[in-house]
Structure 1
Amino acid sequence: MPRIVLKTLINAPSGVVFDLSRSIDLHKISTSHTGEEAIAGTTSGLIGMGESVTWRAKHFGIWQELTSEITAFDPPRYFVDEMRKGAFRGFRHEHIFTEENDATLMTDIFDYQSPYGIFGRIADALFLEKYMRNLLAERNRIIKEFAEDETKYRTVLM
């Protein structure tokens, strides 16, 4: 099972970073290149414990749907979303927020299992793990951009 770990230092309070990380609206902005839309469940605003969202997006030229649910929630330090339905055999995404001086260290731990057995493992090695890492890194870049600019984060959180 591949594991992707990303650490992003953000010059903003942990509460702001936590909320931007669970913002459906900011997620749409960070994945606009995939045409991602929230089509069921919590489709805008902030997602919370026990809530789910179904996303529709185009990856590798194919429209796909994926439903994830918030399964752990400890604001503003931690939350977890897990796939309930979608293209993967499964995934678990931990979001950890640690205050460091006047900044927040945001750590993503993304564990996933590709479908199709050996063919899925080959896809991981050839392109999928890199694709997922880049998708998460772009999401984190957008979170950092908005968190460090009060004018921007207010457009999403207010």
Structure 2
Amino acid sequence: MAVYFECVTQASVSRAELFEKSLSIDAHTGSMADSQEKAVAGVTSGTIGLGEQVTWRAKHFGIPFRMTSRISELDAPRTFTDQQVRGPFKSFHHVHEFHESAHGTLMVDKIRFSAPFGPLGWLAERLVLGWYLPKLIRIRNDYLVKAQG
């Protein structure tokens, strides 16, 4: 069974600006500096678009990982979806929504994932990934909201 969570972030920038930052490979790399995340194949800099893929290399818990994601849906500046094509998860689906608000933009991340390895994966989802992935999304969103330009 998959794990689902949402992260809601308020930003004072316009919806179009935050949408564009969220598609930036460079901004993502900057936000994930602690895990040494780097784009190593596909779109490796600039803005990723509909149907395009990026392969990330990162280190989490001291373990190297590679994950390839594809932008499967894009409706600028309202929403886009990225999905794992290859990588450590049994499945990973991330919907990014951008709503205009009285204070700028409300960004909503809706993430559904499942770990491989049956019962061991289920334990990993509940004991580690269930708190670790929302933390990564909050770090990324903080960086996007604070990044200038």
Structure 2, unaligned runs of 5 or more: none
TM-score by length of 2: 0.97
Instruction: Specify the alignment match of 1:115 in structure 2.
Output: 116
CA distance in 2, matches of 1:89, 1:102: 38
CA distance in 2, matches of 1:111, 1:40: 24
- Deviation of residue 101 (structure 1)? 2.3
Aligned pairs (5 A) from 1:68-147: 68-146=69-147
TM-score by length of 1: 0.92
Instruction: Specify the alignment match of 1:156 in structure 2.
Output: none
CA distance in 2, matches of 1:102, 1:144: 13
- Deviation of residue 102 (structure 1)? 4.4
> What SS does the corresponding residue of 2:51 show, helix, strand or coil?
coil
Which aligned segments of 4 or more residues in structure 1 are displaced greater than 3 angstroms?
Answer: none
Percent identity between the two aligned chains: 39
Q: Cα RMSD between the aligned structures? A: 0.7
> What SS does the corresponding residue of 1:92 show, helix, strand or coil?
strand
Instruction: Specify the alignment match of 2:19 in structure 1.
Output: 18
In the TM superposition, what whole-angstrom CA distance separates every residue of 1:81-105 from its partner, at most 9, and x where no partner exists? 0000000001100000000124100
In the TM superposition, what whole-angstrom CA distance separates every residue of 1:45-97 from its partner, at most 9, and x where no partner exists? 00010000000000111111000000000000000000000000011000000
